[in-house]
Amino acid sequence: MQHLKIYIDGQFVDEPDAKVSVFDHGLLYGDGIFEGIRFYNGRVFLFEEHLDRLFDSAKAILLTIPMERAALHEAVLETCRQNNLRDGYIRLVVTRGKGDLGLNPNKCKQPTVFIIATTIELYPEKCYTEGLRVNTVPTQRVSAAAVSPAIKSLNYLNNILAKIEGNLYGAQESILLNQQGFVAECTADNIFVVKQDKIFTPHVSDGALGGITRRLMFDLAREMNREIREVNLTRYDLFVADELFLTGTGAEVVPINEVDGRKIGSGLAGPVTQQFIKHFRQRTQNSGVAIY
């Protein structure tokens, strides 16, 4: 059996040998950052945008990435090459590194970098035509005054608690509200509403991560001679939407067919959502940084 090759701190090792210390603060406290990046047809999609966000997240938590950007860029590409992959998913992680059992990040002398490249299928293909069943959950999005949603950190417990509640409900994805009762985001995706041929999405200030795929939707909308408006959205806006769809690096663009027991539109991917899926997939096949 051939093992995946994992990049860890300057070396490529077989997956069983890819280890971090039990004293690593990424493990002990979620003290670290990451990016999930897709590659299609031998090209890393929106690569520079993901690296921009990684370095911004690092700056926000005073974490020094122990590699120059060009070296990190090459390490990501080489991880894909080492595994002979042309389509898949990259997880790029930087932890605070090994420290002691105290919280103090100053005790961590050397950050850890590891990169995984593998295949992925977050949802079966039928979900992109039939849609997902989602629910809103009691767990609220963490306040931006506590932890900024713009930081793509390793601490995802807020999202995981929401995912657990969704699992108990039997939903495929879950929606978190912020402390004001406005829609923030899903556990791993941003959300868009189509109503009377207009497109809306929550403000990032409402608790939504400024997703890379979310940002791309604004570009695709302009290509389609459409406009996306950032507004405060409530559960009611979701219930009465003509169409709903989610976006994320893993999920790509996927329709929603039901929210909290309310059928959305026809119960299948609507025409606007279908347009976004089509334009997104066209973009993935002919843009990005070449791996080989």
Q: What is the pLDDT along the chain (292 residues), one digit of tens a residue?
A: 689 999 999 999 999 999 999 999 999 999 999 999 999 999 999 999 999 999 999 999 999 999 999 999 999 999 999 999 999 999 999 999 999 999 999 999 999 999 999 998 889 999 999 999 999 999 999 998 899 989 999 999 999 999 999 999 999 999 999 999 999 999 999 999 999 999 999 999 888 889 999 999 999 999 999 999 999 999 999 999 999 999 999 999 999 999 999 999 999 999 999 999 999 999 999 899 999 9
Q: 5-118: which CATH topology?
A: D-amino Acid Aminotransferase; Chain A, domain 1 (3.30.470)
The neighbour count for residue 59, using CB atoms within 10 Å, is 13
Sequence-ordered list of residues with C-beta below 8 angstroms from that of 143, at least 6 positions apart, any chain = 178, 179, 207
Return the structure tokens found at 275.
């347009």
5-118 matches 127-286 in fold: no
Q: Which one is catalytic: 19, 59, 126, 152?
A: 152
Going from N- to C-terminal start, the domains of the chain cover 5-118, 127-286
pLDDT at 121: 82
Global pTM exceeds 0.85? yes
pLDDT at 67: 97
The verdict on whether 198 is a catalytic residue reads no
In this structure, the strands spanning 252-259 and 243-248 are antiparallel
Q: 127-286: which CATH topology?
A: D-amino Acid Aminotransferase; Chain A, domain 2 (3.20.10)
